Amino acid sequence: MNLTLKVMFRPGLLLFALFALPFWSCKSPGNYNYAIKDFRNTLRPHLIRIVSKGIVMHYDSSLRYMATDEELTQLSQSEHPVLRASAFREMLHRESFNHFEIIMNHLDDTAIVETDAGEFGIWLRTVSDDILEKADWKTQDAKSKTIELVLTKYNYLRSAYTVLKQLEPQDKYYPFIKEMVTRPRRLTDDGFELDFGDIEYALYGLAKFKKQDDAKIIKKQMIQNVRWLSDISFMLIQEFPDTTYFDVLLKYHRRQFYKFSGNRPGGFSGFIADRAAPESFIQALVMQKTDKSAMLLDTMLNRLPLQTCMPDKENIIDEVITAIWEHPCTPYVKLREKIKTRAEEISKWRTSVSLDSSYQVSVDTTKRKIRWYH
């Protein structure tokens, strides 16, 4: 009797086969050719548990205390992405492995895995991005070599985008960064896409080259995604001012600024944070120092007091006043006359608080690890 007939008459066998097939399947083609059946009996149940759960944890105790270095190396070639990612995390924890070789040799693993982000829930990442997130480098030169490889050969990775915030502009990377800004967002064949929060980093990286034609490209992207602008975009506008960006500020002011929920980025309120803090927008606007920015700031000073449902309204108004006061220029002369009394009160209060404060920030003298994000 063939397998098809057995399935017809024994439905329980079908359920077992469907469940067991992923764990006990034959070796896959390519580099990922280790199945769970290839590992010793005492380790198999733990591997099945990891695959069944399907989430890459901060670390897995069974791998930490049971898996040998050789088994971790084999797991890094497993047919199951979650096992590969879990193995890489453990390998990067052990000094017995060459971490730099692990990083450089596995940047092409674009399988998507779910990773435990604690209170932030579950994050989707490629295995390669997870390696870069968890790795550290012994020297800045070693990290620079990794950055060069990522930007020139694997710049579809999310890590290629996020690293641009810290990277100084280098001509050799310019064509790659411009491509990252303009190409379609799809990352893998299974439909995983980068979102605008990633593209923003590439916009910031491109703006560092200060090319006028690029400002038009950056503006177009921002206008099309004005709802999703974050502090990164306003940092870009503030640090690399260009008159073409005023339309972005104008549209954001009209559509998003007054929708602030009170949850600033980086906070731990338990609620979803706003994409951008109002202070970021205010600073970017003030730095324009034009007649148009003066008019928009005046509009804000008139409109903000009328907002009945905007959290932290009074502090936001004071932020507008302080920003104008701290950036004197000809277009802001009339505004400064208008806010002078309140600006001097705020300045006096802040000075008194600073003088009265006995709080001292301790200096961290420990050597920082060289990580991807700093």
Between CA 171 and CA 168 the distance in angstroms is: 10
Please indicate, yes or no, if residue 126 is contained in any of the structural domains: yes
Residues 348 and 230 in one domain: yes
Between CA 202 and CA 209 the distance in angstroms is: 12
Cα angle, residue 78 at apex, residues 190 and 189 outer, rounded to 5°: 10
* 3-state SS assignment for residue 312: coil
- Please measure the distance between the N-terminal and C-terminal CA atoms of the chain and give it in whole angstroms: 62
Residues 231 and 348 in one domain: yes
Residues 235 and 343 in one domain: yes
Please indicate, yes or no, if residue 34 is contained in any of the structural domains: yes
Please indicate, yes or no, if residue 185 is contained in any of the structural domains: no
Which residues lie across from 122 on neighbouring strands? Answer: 116
Strands 122-126 and 112-116: antiparallel
With a cut of 60, say whether residue 279 has pLDDT above it.
yes
| Residue range(s) defining the domain that contains residue 316 | 225-352
Between CA 282 and CA 237 the distance in angstroms is: 11
With a cut of 80, say whether residue 358 has pLDDT above it.
no
Cβ partners under 8 Å of residue 103, min gap 6: 131, 132, 135, 137, 146
pLDDT tier for residue 223 given thresholds of 50, 70 and 90: very high
The predicted structure's pLDDT at residue 187? 59
The predicted structure's pLDDT at residue 344? 95
Between CA 303 and CA 307 the distance in angstroms is: 7
Residues 342 and 230 in one domain: yes
The predicted structure's pLDDT at residue 184? 77
User: End of a domain among 110, 133, 156?
Assistant: 133
Please indicate, yes or no, if residue 51 is contained in any of the structural domains: yes
The predicted structure's pLDDT at residue 16? 38
The predicted structure's pLDDT at residue 368? 81
Please indicate, yes or no, if residue 81 is contained in any of the structural domains: yes
The predicted structure's pLDDT at residue 14? 37
Q: What is the pLDDT of residues 108-159, one digit of tens each?
A: 999 999 999 988 899 999 999 999 999 999 999 999 999 999 999 999 999 9
User: End of a domain among 91, 113, 133?
Assistant: 133
Q: What is the pLDDT of residues 146-168, one digit of tens each?
A: 999 999 999 999 999 999 999 99
The predicted structure's pLDDT at residue 5? 34
Rounded to two decimals, what is the model's pTM? Answer: 0.85
Number of domains in the chain: 2
Please indicate, yes or no, if residue 196 is contained in any of the structural domains: no
Nearest residue to 236 (alpha-carbon basis) of 199, 184, 187: 199
User: End of a domain among 85, 113, 133?
Assistant: 133
Nearest residue to 111 (alpha-carbon basis) of 187, 180, 50, 44: 187
The predicted structure's pLDDT at residue 263? 87
Q: At what angle do helices 174-182 and 196-207 cross, to 10 degrees?
A: 150
Going by the DSSP 8-state scheme, the letter that residue 270 receives in this structure is S
Please indicate, yes or no, if residue 290 is contained in any of the structural domains: yes
What are the tokens at 156?
């579809």
Residues 116 and 230 in one domain: no
pLDDT tier for residue 350 given thresholds of 50, 70 and 90: confident
The predicted structure's pLDDT at residue 352? 78
Q: What is the pLDDT of residues 39-71, one digit of tens each?
A: 999 999 999 999 999 999 999 999 999 999 999
Nearest residue to 182 (alpha-carbon basis) of 152, 211, 220: 220
Please indicate, yes or no, if residue 294 is contained in any of the structural domains: yes
